[in-house]
Structure 1
């Protein structure tokens, strides 16, 4: 929020209002339950180490198992937010714990994605995810990179584009030929070996992410961290939370 106090207060209110509205995505969760294990067994949700030269954080999302029946959109989205919430309470740059990131870059590996996967999207979950990302995510989203794009990418985009604001859609970069173009935005030293980088193997990075989830399990599941009382009045005015009813 660039130091703007009122904008910061609004962001926090919207963040917690959306959490209360969708407790099955943000509150009722456990990184060790069967749903979470199933997600992490077939997909990777991995924060990558370090920061870009612009001080951006980078995260990677990909399928490890391409079987569409493994996808459970709501449970997968809940796992995504658990990883994100853990990241917000860890240092942005382990090499310099006083540095704060200036934004977030997301990489979506589309390898193995089919229209059968898209058919398993839950519209209510997609709507909640996009609303949170656009209105309540406490980062500055700088870019979304789509790599290993299939030939039918336009059909996939036609499904999800109605839920995405023009501002966010302009941040999407499609890498349709090869992954080399990704290196212009994300340094190789931040990328896994499997993507031509030097940050270690996906197995190693996956293990590190799971360790953090385990270490922060009590935090993620503690209702005192996430459940707030809904007040009808705030400073003599109707609560802005009413818009989420």
Structure 2
């Protein structure tokens, strides 16, 4: 377990209930629980489990549920998180500049920054491929970026160059499943989303997404900002990359950082075939997603924490 800088250690202790004495005990409890679940094949590495403990503010029951949901989702909905391997296609999507994680400085509350630019991805890549890459990047940031794991992420959703045809791929069913993964399964917490540079023809689409998030009980607010100057009211200008008027490095540096990170985790994702759930072995409870999406995966109801 990496030691945290003093300011992050203070936040982890006061807001996440993280104490060095308790961490080792919680890891033993989680590993024992995972080994006892015959249907569940889950990772048990220290960094992986701590990322989930921090996401759940060290509630063991919530952590167990999120880990269960994480691996069950990968088994039940491979169309959302399929092809999670470090292939040349994934590296190419990264080089397009779909997702940026500037390193320094942090937001004023120590949260990490995530800039998502879906419009830069050509139409030859389907949104499902975009989601596979994004889920990989978010998981690695939860494992590697202590600010993101402890405080969470502030997302800038830059809609420049996103057209109606590409947005239409994100239909209601696909979006509901993807949002469920982000809110109920991912080890990374998104604190707030700011939508920037939204074309007029996509305003109604954004309204639908916001309505769905509200319907699904999201407590992560989403704001539409009309300009960089308005964005600076929420995120200090200096924290943004130079392409967004700040002094926090360049976007190409973020792409290089993520490419190096992906390559260093190549074996990690190759090993993913060994994890998931065997639903036939699950006893004594309703299978996750059966109630939410139905036996065939159609959406019914979501209750989001």
- State the TM-score, normalizing by the size of structure 2: 0.67
Structure 1 contact 56–104 (Cα < 8 Å) conserved: yes
Structure 2 contact 191–220 (Cα < 8 Å) conserved: no
Partners of 2:171 and 2:88 in 1: CA distance:
21
Structure 1 residue 145, shift from structure 2 partner: 0.5
Partners of 1:7 and 1:169 in 2: CA distance:
16
Say which structure is richer in helix: 2
Matched, 1:53 2:108: yes
Structure 1 residue 61, shift from structure 2 partner: 0.8
Change (3 A) 1:218 1:194: same
Aligned length: 234
* Unaligned residue ranges in structure 2 (runs of 5+): 1-55, 296-305
Partner deviation per Cα, 1:62-121 (whole Å, 9 max, x = no partner): 146475x2441111110101111111221324xxxxx95222211111111221222233
Partner deviation per Cα, 1:40-71 (whole Å, 9 max, x = no partner): 3444212221432223222111146475x244
Structure 1 residue 169, shift from structure 2 partner: 7.7
Change (3 A) 1:134 1:109: same
Give the aligned partner of residue 300 of structure 2. none
* Unaligned residue ranges in structure 1 (runs of 5+): 94-98
Matched, 1:181 2:230: yes
What pairs up with 1:1-245 in 2 under 5 angstroms? 1-26=56-81, 28-34=83-89, 36-50=90-104, 51-63=106-118, 65=120, 69-93=123-147, 100-121=149-170, 123-161=172-210, 163-166=212-215, 167-168=217-218, 171-176=221-226, 178-223=227-272, 226-230=275-279, 231-233=281-283, 237-238=284-285, 240-241=287-288, 243=291, 245=295
Tell me the secondary structure at the aligned position of residue 117 of structure 1. Answer: helix
Partners of 1:81 and 1:54 in 2: CA distance:
24
- State the TM-score, normalizing by the size of structure 1: 0.82
CA RMSD, Structure 1 to Structure 2 (Å): 2.7
Change (3 A) 1:66 1:225: closer
